[in-house]
Amino acid sequence: YEEVKGEKAQSAVSVGLDQSNSQTQRVNATFVTLARNSDIWEIAKSIRNVEDRFNRNFHYDWVFLNDKDFDDEFKKLTTALVSGTTHYGRIPEDHWSYPDWIDQDKAREARQEMGRKKIIYGDNEAYRHMCRYESGFFFRHPLMMNYEYYWRVEPSIELFCDVPGDPFRFMKENNKKYSFVISLYEYYETIPTLWDSVKGFMKSHPEHIADGNAMEFISEDGGETYNKCHFWSNFEIGSLEWLRSKQYIDYFSTLDHDGGFFYERWGDAPVHSIAASLMLKADEIHFWNEIAYYHVPFTHCPSSEKTRLDLRCHCKPSENFDWAGYSCTKRWFDVNKLQKPDGWDSQQ
Ligand code: GDP
Ligand code: MN
């Protein structure tokens, strides 16, 4: 896993395909899924992928969260599929509703206008509560409070390679706080004033901005404007303690008060990504080359044939999005002076 600056990234296999100590060396971590009862068959697929490629050897817990109660069918099936302990939580009302400073008429008009403009999820009210919840609340749900790390899993995802070693342990041992597999540019229409809000935060809380951060990944003019690069948050492995820190909570609170979760359609992906890029050191953020992943419509498939064969991958290398024009992953490698994996140049 180790990323070695200026040198060839170490092969995954040499740093721990071995999962034999899997259970004794487990860290305090859980999978987490936000879902509706109707997501049952799509989340079943995701769980099967995660179990077959990783968790069957580890038995990590899995927390399911929902704004409604989960029904028995959902609980029965997911409990049968997950090899660890499952927990089911209902989201408290005040984490999935309008804060009192939000003008709900203005929010409705914004949805209608974005619907007319055919902006993706532009007219969708529940989607906004979802994005706000994933931005500011899932990590402080009572069921999440005792864990140190999380791995977010959405319905309908696929994993294409054996996961080498234990990503949670890698995070802990290497002091990683946030990690991703796919990055890309956000639709501007969903976030027109997000960067203004971020600038307000940077001004009122300069003490939260990290030395050695990854600002250059998200801004090409020293913080004047946002280039819309973000880590795709339908996959995340990260530190819950970081999200629960005063820094992150101050940041979320500033954004939340500015209202863009409702007056625009701020996604949790740019919200998390900007936070990570400003408040973490760049080397506390990790790119997982070895975790091959699909969420509609993009695939991350390791560039190097050796990696794909060693990890028994079944993804199609020509579908790898990493080096495509709309991906930000090349920029991530370039600004951090990381050496790109073998085979990347034939995939551009
Ligand atoms: P997309 O990936 O941005 O297209 O959005 P998804 O439809 O995949 O939603 C993101 C995550 O939030 C998924 O895990 C969904 O199951 C979940 N989700 C979305 N809307 C709701 C909702 O209204 N209630 C609940 N409980 N979960 C939701
Ligand atoms: Mn999704």
pLDDT digits (tens, 9 = 90+) for 63-110: 999 999 999 999 999 999 999 999 999 999 999 999 999 999 999 999
Q: Please list the alpha-helical segments (H only) found in the chain.
A: 40-53, 72-81, 104-116, 125-136, 167-173, 194-204, 215-218, 240-243, 246-258, 260-263, 268-279, 305-310, 329-335
Does ligand 1 have an atom closer than 6 angstroms to the CB of 158?
Answer: no
Average pLDDT over residues 312-332: 97
| pLDDT in the model for residue 19 | 66
Strand partners, 152: 32, 236
pLDDT classification of 348: cutoffs 50, 70, 90: confident
Q: How far apart are CA 45 and CA 158, in angstroms?
A: 8
Does ligand 1 have an atom closer than 6 angstroms to the CB of 233?
Answer: no
236 is catalytic: yes
Average pLDDT over residues 171-189: 98
Whether residue 130 has pLDDT greater than 80 = yes
- For the chain, give the mean pLDDT: 94
SS3 state of residue 249:
helix
Query: Which structure tokens are listed for 180?
Result: 């991703």
| pLDDT in the model for residue 255 | 98
Task: State the distance from the centre of ligand 2 to the C-alpha of 114, rounded, in angstroms.
Answer: 20
Task: State the distance from the centre of ligand 1 to the C-alpha of 323, rounded, in angstroms.
Answer: 27
**How many CB atoms neighbour CB 64 within 10 A?**
23
Query: Which structure tokens are listed for 223?
Result: 């913080």
Does ligand 1 have an atom closer than 6 angstroms to the CB of 236?
Answer: no
Confidence check on the interface: ipTM exceeds 0.95, yes or no = yes
> What is the spatial order of strands in the sheet that 293-295 belongs to?
158-159, 293-295, 298-300
Does ligand 1 have an atom closer than 6 angstroms to the CB of 182?
Answer: no
Instruction: Given the residues 51, 158, 186, 236, select the one marked as catalytic.
Output: 236
**DSSP secondary structure letters along 54-80:** TGGGT--EEEEEESSPPPHHHHHHHHH
pTM over 0.90: yes
| pLDDT in the model for residue 24 | 77
Task: State the distance from the centre of ligand 1 to the C-alpha of 50, rounded, in angstroms.
Answer: 18
Protein residue with least CA distance to atom 7, ligand 1: 127
Q: Return the best residue to mutate from 40, 71, 130, 272 for the ligand 1 pocket (most ligand atoms within 8 A of CB).
A: 130
